[in-house]
């Protein structure tokens, strides 16, 4: 496969991960919504989280291949791979509180514990993504 095609697919995968950068801001504004709007927002966030997880798979496949062809250090490869795996884990972990919060909203119960977990996990995802972006921009730093 051509290098340019893989780089294009890698950039498409990165666009899918952009959701994780805006998610903490979306969650911050959700407190002002009505209960029905919160339920809809949680449903949308669940769908976007799943979409971003597919973007992570694209990143893993294309980035793994691109790393083998690039002139980068082994520590750089390890750090970026661990950060990507952390994002897989955090995104997967976030799916349970999202599901519990959505079902709790339907039942009319307080979902502040679940939304707090979602907020924390989304902040961690955004930080991981920013750190990966830093290492991508400055690949010669390590």
Domains of the chain, start order: 3-137 (1.20.120)
The DSSP-derived string for 37-49 is HHHHHHHHHHHHH
Q: Enter the pTM of the model.
A: 0.91
Q: What is the maximum span of the chain, computed from C-alpha positions, in angstroms?
A: 55
CA distance 132 to 140: 13
Per-residue pLDDT band at 1 (split at 50, 70, 90) = low
For residue 141, the model assigns a pLDDT of 79
Query: What is the chain's mean pLDDT, rounded?
Result: 93
Summarised one tens digit per residue, pLDDT across range 59-85 is 999 999 999 888 889 999 999 999 999
**What length does the chain have?**
142
């Amino acid at each position: 496969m051509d290098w340019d095609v893989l780089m294009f697919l890698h950039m498409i995968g990165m666009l899918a991960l952009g959701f994780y950068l805006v998610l903490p801001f979306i969650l911050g504004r959700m407190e002002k919504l009505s209960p029905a709007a919160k339920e809809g927002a949680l449903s949308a966030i669940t769908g976007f989280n799943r979409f971003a997880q597919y973007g992570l798979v694209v990143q893993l496949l294309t980035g793994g291949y691109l790393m083998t062809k690039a002139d980068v250090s082994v520590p750089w490869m390890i750090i970026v791979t661990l950060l990507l795996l952390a994002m897989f884990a955090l995104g997967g972990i976030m799916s349970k509180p999202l599901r519990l919060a959505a079902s709790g909203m339907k039942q009319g119960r307080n979902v502040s514990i679940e939304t707090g977990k979602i907020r924390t996990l989304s902040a961690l995802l955004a930080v991981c993504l920013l750190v990966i972006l830093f290492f991508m921009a400055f690949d010669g730093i390590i």
